[in-house]
Chain A
């Protein structure tokens, strides 16, 4: 059976716990860099969503 694609509330808690640990090991400049990189990931995903919606329509 294919794994559900939806993130659950429980998984979100795990994601947060993992992120809090990771951020705790980083310097402020590394956290800023990490956030900048995450923004690029998000923008890429957002662009994909828009393209997929256009194709669907």
Chain B
């Protein structure tokens, strides 16, 4: 059964009609809803929304929260100790450097939430090269194998629409 973890770049695109990824993101989320495929976000988005509030003010942060609410995306909770342990395991296996800490929190969240897919528009931080390393550590830890891709790629993979 597919379960899709949405990286914040997809939420940002949904929240902003001017974003160049808005229309495809909208089509993607509607496709998931039509197929009754669960879409979730995890604890790292809490940090990103808080930072957005700090940098840009309440109205900007409200738009992100509004998008999560409007498209009925589940905000999943996790055992934070377990989450940080998995991120440290990724560091121990040199999956990525420390400047990728928040990204690794997303990978770890998607893994611990047993998601089949992690979807992102940010190809620099969410790509096959890093996914292979993540999945190697996940496999050693008897955890799920994640499929990484942008909404267009995942739409095809899940045969949406």
* A residues neighboring B (CB under 8 Å): 4-9, 11-21, 23-24, 28, 31-32, 34-39, 41-42, 45-46, 48-50, 52
Distance in angstroms from A23 CB to nearest chain B CB is 5
Distance in angstroms from B146 CB to nearest chain A CB is 19
Query: Taking the complex as formed, is B132 at the interface, i.e. its CB lies under 8 A from any CB of chain A?
Result: no
**A42 partner residues in chain B, CB cutoff 8 A:** 45-46, 49-50, 65, 75
**Residue count of chain B within 8 Å CB distance of chain A:** 46
Chain B interface helix/strand/loop/mixed: helix
Chain A interface helix/strand/loop/mixed: helix
B19 and A6 form a contact (CB under 8 A): yes
**Nearest B residue to A50 by beta-carbon distance?**
B69
A15 and B52 form a contact (CB under 8 A): yes
**A28 partner residues in chain B, CB cutoff 8 A:** 81, 84
